[in-house]
Amino acid sequence: MPRTLDRREIIRLGGTALGLATVMPRRLLGRAPAVHTGSVKPAVVASRNGLRSRDTAGATCVEKAFALLTGESDPLDALLAGVNIVERDPEDSSVGYGGLPNADGVVQLDSCCMHGPKRRAGGVAALEGVRTPSLVAQAVADHTDHHLIVGDDAQRFARTMGFEIEDDLNTEKSRRLWLEWKRRSDPRHYPDPESRALAQHRAGLAMVAEGLIDPEHYYGTINCNGLSPRGELAGVTTTSGLAWKIPGRVGDSPILGAGLYVDAAVGAAGSTGRGEANLFHLASFLVVEEMRRGAAPKDAGLAALERVAANTVEKRLLNSRGLPAFGLSFYVLNAHGEHAGVSMYSSSYAVCTENGPEILPTEALYDGQSEG
């Protein structure tokens, strides 16, 4: 028969448990593990441009994605149908057709997607000639054993998959803005590389300040994550990248764990803003891991921003307050349907639930503006 503990043993064991609790990291105490039970609230969350571009029927990205997600559509197919609206919009200069080009005037696109239930992902980088890189990323996931294909070979792959290849994805607007940037930052006026890069960056920011470029479009990108009524998670991120970037530059958007991360049992997170800051920390993966340990979406996102801020030490990346001189945002959704948008400085994000589409303020890590 089982041995009965006497009073002294009970006290001794209780003291041991208390001692273990005192040496556990404080941030883990009181946190429940990410075990999800109960009802699921379907939702689609996205960067702010997810509630701007419209298709011929008048639907925005988050509206279309939510309508399909709550029907019988595959969760990733639903999200892709939403972001394709933005990718194809010639007036949105942050992604796809008409995205702001690189320093040579060429539109190069990046994207990745993740399918939670299938545990499958795909991405493309520095892709030219295809308006919807997110669909090429999906083809990588569905038709290959790989996660990322880049450059000319990404275009070659797209061609073999039947995608239309165009010679130039510039619109009249994107080409006009590129020519204006070139006029302001002609590198012949700046003999050394450091001065040249600084002048080009200042020219771009001046165009933002003058209202020629949407502040969010200077860095580009749309991220969109969704949870179906069946508890299926998926996500997609797509971008034309940093305006006037060095040709071939790839940011965080097509990199799993940086521009996007989805865990079928926990949640999804994606990002817009300075890609290099996100890449250095694989911050979307970090956000999901924080939720796995029991953090709410908002707290998980802020933890990632705090990590980025703590590791931003180069003077050129700091503003007059000694804080990061750049924007960075995360769009976070857990497996219950709870969501949040967080940002380095004040911003907003798009969401669609059973209550309809809306723009909500993000939770900002710092007051004011980046000054970057």
Report DSSP letters for 130-184, one per residue.
Answer: -S-HHHHHHHHHHHSS-SEEEHHHHHHHHHHTT----S----HHHHHHHHHHHHH
Q: What angle do CA 120, 121, 123 make, to 5 degrees?
A: 160
Whether residue 221 lies in the annotated active site: yes
Nearest to 312 by CA among 267, 354, 277: 277
Q: Which residue in 60, 70, 132, 221 is the catalytic one?
A: 221
Q: Which own/partner contact pairs does 318-326 have at CB distance under 8 Å and 24+ positions apart?
A: 319/370, 319/371, 319/372, 320/371, 321/368, 321/371, 323/366, 323/370, 324/277, 324/370, 324/372, 325/370, 325/371, 325/372, 326/273, 326/274, 326/277, 326/370, 326/372
Active centre residues (catalytic): 221
